[in-house]
Structure 1
């Protein structure tokens, strides 16, 4: 009851009053989350769900070869970039988090978890976080939650992380989030979710930093939608590998990758189309034609598209062969 009164009092504060104790009124993301590391690949991830719009825009932070951060409850977004900068300089997750918590006037309202590239983990739950609130840390992971329906959510997350150890990290994190929801989840319900995965090695370019970066900003079942988006992302990973194989001149590998993607999403016309283009470019016109016929029937714009490819060099067949494909 005391924590509920604290929450009501905070929501009635003016901006200046909120700032005076280090709590910004607009930075409000009660939630459950996980920071985790794959001990085999070194990949690191943050998964989060909340009954709050666009939770991924404020809670989850990561940098390849450095670490990941989840900052929630009454959010201080500075924990993200400042924590990553500290870990990037060689400071451990524990030392970095301690450093930032000690100078935070609003620390009683914070819930934060850090994980560094070495697998070191540290988490903090302020005394004024709304119950049910808590955290559990283990080897290569930390799970934390506040404003949950019950105190079973956090243990369920930790158990799921251990149970699904054979899954790729992203899929493993989704299982953890599903377990949280099944155990009771956020007392207010569901609205948004996010998942980021970063690599084990530092990258030269910022746009290469995140291997997976998915957000569901507003949805009736955000975790289910996040799971669907992850499957789409995996399919397009195969498409990208197929494109690279084409560049390398390895047509058989390209076709294998395109076929894998297509099996994951058999209704996706673009996947079928580029598989057919690869077949045509490798001289297998007769195999390409029935695939393209189905694509053209489903959406005639693809027939317009194929005519635009020869000038760009993406389709290297004769005019007669092109006419055969589109007739």
Structure 2
């Protein structure tokens, strides 16, 4: 009797294997990805049957999640059958909790058909966020706002926030705008970006705004971004002021290592003047010779 039951079970399993199957026994994916599972069936027998997607370690306790009659069960899950021997299960924005055993299944009057499949979801770790400017950082030399952006290349369901060096939150997004108004009140300021999800968080390098020349209506400042080439405002907006104000010039050279900029500009000015003189002197000489020649001619006629 026991042998007969085992034989009948084997025949039933073999029959189901030929009638419903998947092309994979296991699927691996990362959090946030979208996957599509192909469930193959005997189109000559089950083309008009209702197919469904089921979750559970045991078939006896399997929970139906979606079927081909409902089709779109949620924004994360749908099951579609084009009646060509395959029905498709699409899962979107998958998370770690989606890992487990699933079943492709077909509803029947006496006993449903089923075929198991394992889904293994792995975590997509957060990478260290990078900082970049969305407009030209040199705008700071004219006192204009500079917008900086924080972005992490990997991770799922990320949330961004910006903080001052003392831990005070200044923005709850990946965008931060640096403006003169904030700097004139607090002088130099440092910021950092933090990215997080339900399990982890990571911080960026420090962004430093160095106030060079505060005024009533604006300011001149430098924006020092991590892993970016530094720049100077002395060539654009403050060179003339620095020549007349030794204090301002000394502050700027100290902050930005620009002690050699002024000598370079002086040598450049001398070179330009010398080039102009090389053109003007021959002209003066020629005019002088013509004048002398005309004077001599006039003398002879008299």
TM-score, structure 2 as length reference: 0.28
User: Per residue, is there more helix in 1 or in 2?
Assistant: 1
Q: Per residue, is there more strand in 1 or in 2?
A: 2
> TM-score, with normalisation over the residues of structure 1?
0.27
Structure number with greater Rg is 2
Q: Which has the higher contact order (CA 8 A, sep 6+)?
A: 1
